[in-house]
Structure formats: structure tokens, C-alpha cells
Amino acid sequence: MLAVAQVGGIDSSESRPEVVARLIALLEEAASQGAELVVFPELTLTTFFPRTWFEEGDFEEYFEKSMPNDDVAPLFERAKDLGVGFYLGYAELTSDEKRYNTSILVNKHGDIVGKYRKMHLPGHADNREGLPNQHLEKKYFREGDLGFGVFDFHGVQVGMCLCNDRRWPEVYRSLALQGAELVVLGYNTPDFVPGWQEEPHAKMFTHLLSLQAGAYQNSVFVAAAGKSGFEDGHHMIGGSAVAAPSGEILAKAAGEGDEVVVVKADIDMGKPYKESVFDFAAHRRPDAYGIIAERKGRGAPLPVPFNVND
């Protein structure tokens, strides 16, 4: 059984212990429904601070210097007691003062068995005053340096990513080529994003579309947990969900507060797709995909020499 734990808005006034208490309550609810793995959102422990411009040195409180630390240890301990694993997103500050948007995978014994640092940082690094909110991940975080890893979770091969990564097809394919059976991710998607002119209903559509396309085209389950509702006066779209290898949404959060969605994820559901339309070994053409790795931005068409009768 698999659970996504949607978290209602976390205001800046909430302390780490208060937030962790909410996460433990969600964990316990998921466990009571038979969940073995619980997926929490991106930057779960704090408000989504990249929406705000801070001067250097004024944003240290949002970062974790170790994991688990004293504030988060109760979550690890309760999960271990319940025999439930979890995925958790947080802001990481390394010993050499590097900052990353990070997530970890914790097994049923309380051991960290996987780690990921966000690769596709959206937004901008400069201060754009006058906007309802900003999108400053490029200011506060470095681009991830751990690649796209797949980790064993009690016999299930699990890949991880974060938020904007879910919109990039290369992410799912990189994980599927390593045998991923399940992709877990956390996200924060506000109604308003600078430079991104979509209505809230369209944001929900493209969010779910990204999960469904990634799941179907790679024959994997995708479990996505987000923040939802109002957070420090800014509205988040929610929509935490699980997509099956068929591309169907198996379950989706109904509200905008703290909510657990539990589904039965039969990993074998992906096999028929892996052995037919998405049999990579039989049908993929890596020799024809060079432009994907060689070219970063859009450019001119490549020449295609041909003879109409040959």
C-alpha cells in the first residue's frame, strides 16, 4: 500500500516541532490504512520560502544542516515504530555551505536509503519587486549534483524527483532505464507563478498530465504529494495524486488541508506495458536521440539528407 500525504499550508510562524507533529499525524493515519510508504511534499518542513526575497543571511532558518536532526527525529522514530517508510523534501545546507532543494527516501527501519537533489530549478535569481510573489529557487539553491538515482525500498525500485522535475520527460525515462517501478516526488505549485500565465484550473491539468504521461510512457507508478491551500497568504493548488502505469489517476486528494490518500499499488501492473508497447530493449532508438543530450535550448532544424525515390 502506498500513500501520498498532502500538507495544508505551513505559515512562517509555525515551528519545526509543530510541523513535524502534523506529519506524524498524517503518517499514523496512513499506517492505520495499511500504507508501507508515505510520500510527503517538497520543502515539507517550512513555508515555501523561495516566493520571498531575503537578503543574504536572513534565510538560514529554513535550511536543515543534518538529517535527521533533533526537530525531525520524532518523525523517524514514529515511522520506525510503525514499520512505515517515507519520502521527505527539505532545504539542505551542507557542511561546506552549499544549499540544495533535497529529498530523501527512508525505509521501514528508519534508515535513509536514497537521496536526491532537485535538478530543474525554475524561476529566477534576481529581485523582481512588485510581484504578488516571486520564484527564487535559482537564488537559494544550487542545481542538483546527484543525478537521477533509483533505490531499493524493500524490493521495490524507487526513483525520486522534485516538483518542476515532474514536467520534464527526460526525468522519468532516466529513472525507468534504471529499472524504476515507482517514482515519488513532492511539489509546491502556487496559483501565481511569475512568467507562467496559466489559470488555476490549467495548472491542475498540467500537473496531473505530467504525472500521467510520465507513468504511462515509462510503465511506472508515480506518487506526488504537495502543499495545498493558503500558506502565508499565498494559495497552492494541491492535487496530490497517484498515477498508475496505465496513465490513469488511481486516487487524488479531495481537499486543501492535511489529507492522506492511500492506494494499493500492484507493482506487477507495469509488466504488460514493459513487455509490449514500451519494451525499451526492443523498440527504443538511442542512436536517433543524440540531439536530446547535445542541445540544451531550442534551435534550428537539423539537415535531413534524403532522396525522394531512394
- Domain CATH code at residue 91: 3.60.110.10
Task: Let me know if residue 84 belongs to a domain.
Answer: yes
Query: Is residue 85 assigned to a domain?
Result: yes
Q: Does residue 198 surpass a pLDDT of 90?
A: no
Residue 272 clears pLDDT 90, i.e. is over it: yes
d(CA 77, CA 257): 24
Span 120-136, average pLDDT: 87
Domain-embedded: residue 291: no
Q: Which domain holds residue 62?
A: 2-270
Any domain includes 302: no
- Would you say residue 269 has pLDDT above 80? yes
Task: Tell me whether residue 299 is in a domain.
Answer: no
Tally of domains in the chain: 1
Residue 280 lies in a domain: no
Sign, CA dihedral 80-81-87-90, equals negative
Residue 262: helix, strand or coil by DSSP? Answer: strand
Average pLDDT taken over every residue of the chain = 94
Note whether residue 288 is domain-resident. no
pLDDT of residue 53: 87
Average pLDDT over residues 267-284: 94
Share above pLDDT 90 across residues of the chain, in percent, rounded to a whole number: 85
Report which of residues 210 and 310 the model is more confident about.
Answer: 210
Q: Does 52 have pLDDT greater than 90?
A: no
Cite the active site residues.
42, 118, 163
Residue 47 lies in a domain: yes
For residue 280, is it left (φ>0), alpha (ψ between -120 and 50) or beta?
alpha
pLDDT for 200 beyond 90: no
In terms of pTM, does the model score above 0.85? Answer: yes
Of 11, 41, 138, 23, the residue nearest 77 (C-alpha)? 23
Residue 123 above 70 pLDDT?
yes
- Cell, residue 80: 520506525
Cβ contact 93:61 at 8 Å: no
